[in-house]
Amino acid sequence: MKQANQRRITILGESPLVEEYAALCHNKGFQVFVRLNAEYAYVKLPKGFRKITMPARATDIALELTNISPETKKANLVSLDKILSPKTLILSTSVTVSAAEQSSWISRPGRLVGLGAMPMLLANDLVEIAPSFATDAAALKDAEEFIKSLGKAFAVVRDCVGLVLPRILCMLANEASFALMENVASAKDIDTGMTLGTNYPWGPVQWTERIGGRQVRAVVSALHRHFGEDRYRVAPLLRLAAIRNVTPGAV
């Protein structure tokens, strides 16, 4: 296996998720190549990241980090699948689209492994990865080794929309939005109740601010589409907050 400073990482997707993973990879010595989705073209990338228009075939690992737009995600994955070497690992966020569904978009599904990636989750020591029914054993091993090379532990979880931690956090944030809308409590009191009552580092309104309302809405909407159950209905206040790009407490 190549040394970190010889390995090329290509990262495609949304801001600020791309920057978070790019910074971590760069700090671990990887050569980082980045392409933000078109709607984030205005974002100025920090020094050390090499901006690209097309991925290079010589890429050792590719990350696809799009949660909000399934159409953009599909286009990114199809592009990567066509350009990259057949054995190159593709780690792709699978909190709004399962790894199994993503695998159906590409010609080499065995190389794709799902990833539990959302903004701010890299602050945790553990990263969730989710192989699909089509994932090759070698690809899963490569994914595990890559996560460890970033200084993180990993948990292999079942391939399902939302995965584990993203699903829990986003459902809490959605429920907090319902509580705010129904005047159950203020945003500050909801967060205080959760941080003191459950020993969470942040309350659900704070989590929404840190992750981003659009990201939270995307996960809850995906859960509602997947399961078709009313408990996954997006709170109107969260939907409005995501449109305005503010926290539910600021609507």
For 201-246, write each residue's pLDDT tens digit.
899 999 999 999 999 999 999 999 999 999 999 999 999 888 876 6
When the pLDDT of each residue in the chain is averaged and rounded to a whole number, the result is 93
pLDDT band at 248 (very low <50, low <70, confident <90, very high): confident
Q: What is the pLDDT of residue 41?
A: 86
- The pLDDT > 90 percentage for the chain reads 82
Q: What is the pLDDT of residue 250?
A: 64
**Residue 20 and residue 17: Cα distance in Å, rounded?**
5
Residue 235 neighbours by CB under 8 Å, 6+ apart: 174, 175, 177, 178, 181, 248
Q: What is the pLDDT of residue 233?
A: 96
Q: What is the pTM of this model?
A: 0.93
Residue 188 neighbours by CB under 8 Å, 6+ apart: 249
**Residue 53 and residue 194: Cα distance in Å, rounded?**
43
Whether residue 13 contacts residue 79, with contact meaning beta carbons closer than 8 Å, is answered with: no
**Residue 163 and residue 114: Cα distance in Å, rounded?**
9
Is the pLDDT confidence value at 81 over 70? yes
**Residue 164 φ/ψ, nearest 5 degrees:** -110, -75
